[in-house]
């Protein structure tokens, strides 16, 4: 079984974990209604995605 030869310092461990932070969700604006929505997701307001309406909404 692999066992570390030397103890890892606090700074080395923290540098390794620096990429584990949670990133903010990237929002883009709907072309049809202008509502901010996550990219590559059907618009929650109007149901529009990639040039066509995929989800019918009651208005």
Contact between residue 53 and residue 46 where contact means Cβ atoms under 8 Å apart: yes
Please give the pLDDT value at position 9. Answer: 96
Q: 26, 25, 59, 30: which is closest to 43 by C-alpha?
A: 30
- Is pTM beyond 0.75 here? no
Please give the pLDDT value at position 1. Answer: 86
User: What's the pLDDT tens digit per position in 5-41?
Assistant: 999 999 999 999 999 999 888 898 988 888 998 888 8
Please give the pLDDT value at position 16. Answer: 94
Contact between residue 49 and residue 33 where contact means Cβ atoms under 8 Å apart: no
């Amino acid at each position: 079984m692999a066992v570390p030869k030397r103890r890892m310092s606090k700074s080395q461990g923290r540098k390794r974990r620096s990429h584990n932070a949670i990133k903010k969700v990237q929002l883009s604006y709907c072309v049809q209604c202008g509502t901010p929505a996550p990219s590559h997701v059907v618009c929650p307001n109007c149901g529009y995605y990639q040039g066509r309406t995929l989800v019918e909404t009651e208005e």
